[in-house]
């Protein structure tokens, strides 16, 4: 009996030896492949950001940040552009976040995931997300600027960017709401909480890290959008006094400086400031999300 098992084992061992590459080496090679892919991705990011910073930072100083442009941007600084950027971004986020989180809660909590309306809404959001931004710009021009008569203004630009951020925030929020374990919901309902109390007090707080990431993604893609605001926000180099004033956010300023051959130097300076703004926002929120998660999960 035991000799038969031995002979079977021998055949197996021999069979295993027919592999071209040993399991150990497969492991090593694949580790190398994925490591390489990761390193390349990081290198690309570093070289793009590095190139912009190396060319841009020499122009950036306190005066550049805090003064108005002179002679269409040949001289002076970019203070009004920084203000406009923040202004427009805030409007976009304040409008897009409640709408898209609301829609996400509806999709994730209030309708069965098999129902038609969920499929239609997700299809709609995905299509919306893949529409080229210049088309959004055109729509913003026709609808907000002309039809609603908001003119070329911070409001028109902010609303157009909100439309663009909407599907991104909605999808990320929906996914993170759905990822909240069912046991939390059951625990809450079993205590006699209503559905809304469960959503508001248990599910949403647990989904906040994911929702925040979505908002940041939406914001980062909105802040960097030139085409969508090109037609909607005007190009005024003044600091906008109200939401109905035209403005010139950083990406638009950068575009004008570069395409009209005004000052490539200042264009790089503007780009550097834009990149740093995006980086700072991303890093700060990441740290905050991390801290919140750690407190929530007791680590």
Partner 1 sequence: MKYKIETTDLNAYFDEAHILKDINLKIPEKTVTSLIGPSGCGKSTFIRTLNRMNDLIDTFKMNGTVTLDDEDIYDSKFDVVELRTRIGMVFQKPNPFPKSIFDNVSYGLTVHGMNDKDRIRERVEESLKAAVLWDEVKDKLDKSAMGLSGGQQQRLCIARTIAVNPEVILMDEPCSALDPISTTKIEDLIHELKKEYTIIIVTHNMQQATRVSKHTAFFLHGEIVERGLTDKLFIEPEDKRTEDYITGRFG
Q: What is the C-alpha to C-alpha distance for residues 294 and 288, in angstroms, rounded to an integer?
A: 10
Map the footprint of partner 1 across residues 206-265, applying CB under 8 A. Answer: 206
Name the token pair of 173.
């929020």
* Pick 143 or 292: Cβ nearer partner 1: 292
Options 24-32, 194-202, 224-232, 240-248: segment touching partner 1 (CB under 8 A): 194-202
Q: Give me the 104-143 binding string for partner 1, x by CB under 8 A, dash otherwise.
A: --------x-x-----------------------------
Q: Give me the 198-217 binding string for partner 1, x by CB under 8 A, dash otherwise.
A: ---xx--xx-----------
Question: 3-state DSSP call for residue 70?
Answer: strand
Which residues, 6 or more positions from 47, have their beta carbon under 8 angstroms from its beta carbon?
none
* Pick 1 or 190: Cβ nearer partner 1: 190
Does the footprint of partner 1 cover residue 298 (CB under 8 A)? yes
Identify the residue among 193, 224, 258, 275 touching partner 1 (CB under 8 A). 193
Name the token pair of 160.
């157009």
* Pick 2 or 112: Cβ nearer partner 1: 112
Does the footprint of partner 1 cover residue 181 (CB under 8 A)? yes
Identify the residue among 26, 187, 260, 284 touching partner 1 (CB under 8 A). 187
75-76 and 69-70 strand pairing: antiparallel
DSSP code string of 154-176: HHHHHHHHHHHHHHHHHHHHHHH
CB of 287 to partner 1, least distance (A): 19
Backbone φ, ψ for residue 262 (5° rounding): -75, -55
Quote the distance between the C-alpha of residue 118 and its chain's center: 23
Does the footprint of partner 1 cover residue 296 (CB under 8 A)? yes
CB of 191 to partner 1, least distance (A): 4
C-beta atoms surrounding 65 within 10 Å: 13
Which residues, 6 or more positions from 167, have their beta carbon under 8 angstroms from its beta carbon?
100, 125, 126, 128, 129
Among 110, 229, 230, 107, which Cα is nearest to 169's?
107
CB of 262 to partner 1, least distance (A): 52
Where do contacts with partner 1 occur on this chain (CB under 8 A)?
A: 112, 114, 181, 183-194, 197, 201-202, 205-206, 295-299
């Amino acid at each position: 009996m035991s000799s038969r098992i031995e002979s079977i084992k021998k055949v197996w061992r021999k069979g295993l030896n027919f592999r071209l590459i040993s399991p150990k080496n497969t492991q090593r090679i694949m580790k190398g492949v994925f490591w390489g892919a990761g390193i390349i991705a990081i290198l690309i990011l570093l070289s793009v950001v590095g190139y912009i910073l190396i060319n841009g930072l020499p122009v950036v100083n306190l005066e550049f940040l805090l003064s108005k442009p002179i002679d269409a941007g040949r001289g002076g600084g970019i203070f009004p552009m920084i203000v406009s950027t923040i202004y427009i971004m805030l409007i976009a986020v304040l409008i897009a976040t409640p709408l898209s989180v609301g829609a996400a809660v509806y999709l994730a909590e209030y309708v069965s995931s098999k129902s038609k309306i969920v499929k239609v809404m997700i299809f709609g959001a995905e299509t919306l997300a893949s529409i080229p931004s210049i088309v959004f710009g055109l729509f913003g021009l026709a609808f907000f600027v002309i039809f609603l008569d908001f003119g070329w203004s911070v409001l028109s630009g902010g609303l157009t960017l909100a439309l663009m951020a909407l599907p991104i925030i909605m999808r990320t929020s929906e996914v993170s709401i759905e990822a909240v374990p069912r046991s939390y919901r059951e625990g809450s309902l079993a205590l006699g909480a209503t559905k809304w109390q469960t959503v508001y007090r248990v599910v949403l707080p647990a989904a906040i890290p994911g929702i925040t990431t979505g908002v940041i993604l939406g914001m980062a893609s909105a802040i960097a959008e030139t085409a969508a605001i090109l037609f909607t926000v005007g190009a005024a180099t003044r600091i906008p006094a109200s939401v109905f004033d035209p403005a010139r956010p950083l990406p638009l300023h950068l575009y004008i400086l570069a395409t009209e051959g005004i000052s490539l130097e200042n264009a790089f300076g503007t780009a550097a400031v834009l990149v740093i703004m995006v980086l700072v926002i991303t890093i700060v929120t990441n740290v905050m999300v991390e801290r919140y998660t750690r407190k929530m999960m007791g680590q």
